[in-house]
Amino acid sequence: MGRSRIPRPARLSEKLIQIRMTLQLSQNEMVQKMGLTGKLIREDISEFERDRRIPPLQVLLEYARAAGIYMDALVDDEMDLPTEIPCSPKHEGIKRKTTRRG
C-alpha cells in the first residue's frame, strides 16, 4: 500500500503573512520574535509565506504563540484569524461563514 499526500492547508501562507504584517515585523524580526534565531533565516520565512514550504510544527507553534492564537486557527482553513493580533487571552480563531452554492 502506498501513502497518499496529506493535504496542505490552503490558507496557511496567507495567515503567516497576516500575522507578521499585523505585528509590523520584517521577516528577520519575525524570526527573532519567535526565538528561532540561528535555527531559521529570513529566506525560510519567505518560503513559508510564498507557500513553497510548510513550516515545521515548532515554527507553527511559535507563530501561534506570537499571535496569541491556538494552532487550530492557524492551520484550519475553516477558521479566520482574529482582527487584533496579538491576542490576550489566547484566541481560538473565528469560524468562517459558509456560503451555500446553489
Encode pLDDT of 42-66 as tens digits: 999 999 999 999 999 999 999 999 9
The pLDDT value recorded for residue 102 is: 45
Superfamily of domain 12-95: lambda repressor-like DNA-binding domains (1.10.260.40)
- Residue 69, C-beta contacts closer than 8 angstroms, at least 6 positions apart: 81, 82, 85, 87, 90, 91, 92, 93
Cell readout for 73 is 486557527
State pTM to two decimals.
Answer: 0.86
- Residue 18, C-beta contacts closer than 8 angstroms, at least 6 positions apart: 81, 85
Q: Contact, 87 vs 21, CB < 8 A? A: no
Domain definitions of the chain by residue range: 12-95
